[in-house]
Amino acid sequence: MNTPVVETESPVLVQAGETCERSVRFTREEIATFARLTGDTNPLHHDVQAAQRARHGEIIASGQQTTAQMIGLVASHFSRSDDGQTRELLCLNFNFAFKAPVFAEQELVLHWQVSSVEWSASLGGWLFHADGRATVRHAHPCVIGRGTLLVRGGRG
């Protein structure tokens, strides 16, 4: 059986099954500052008394704070050059679902795993899908996500 040869202009820069992971923890001050800087005036992000009266009972991070950290992790990992190969990364699409609140001082483990990779001649790079999650250590996922990204060899 002949295996087709795939012509590419770039070495393989991402592989199915590849993962990246990092832990984060948001302080109450970081949560309030992020919300203020992004125009999120929901009192659950900065007003302790309002948060205590609400459903979760304490300050929670905005969804965009957690997803920004998740996107930052996957973007940093797949644009790295620590192996001698320069990369250019484009984040094409992300979808997230919020499953549980993220509280101040709660340790989150951010994790992405590449689920599929294919060469895109029209885009000149490796098109891939990654599944991500932000999980409270030893517990439940707070956020789950899926991203479509493109990585190409850098011009450096």
For every one of its 156 residues, what pLDDT tens digit does the chain have, with 9 covering 90 and above? 554 444 455 688 999 999 999 999 999 999 999 999 999 999 999 988 988 888 888 999 999 999 999 999 999 999 998 888 889 999 999 999 999 999 999 999 999 999 999 999 999 999 999 999 999 977 889 999 999 999 999 775
Strands 87-98 and 19-24: unpaired
* pLDDT for 83: 85
Region class of 124: left (phi > 0), else alpha (psi between -120 and 50), else beta = left
Taking the C-alpha atoms of residue 67 and residue 121, their distance in angstroms, rounded to an integer, is 30
CA neighbours closer than 13 Å in the CB half-sphere of residue 13: 28
Phi–psi pair at 54, nearest 5 degrees: -85, 180
* pLDDT for 9: 58
**pTM to 2 decimal places:** 0.89
Strands 87-98 and 141-153: antiparallel
Q: Tell me the domains of the chain and their CATH numbers.
A: 19-153 (3.10.129.10)
What's the chain's length in residues?
156
* pLDDT for 154: 79
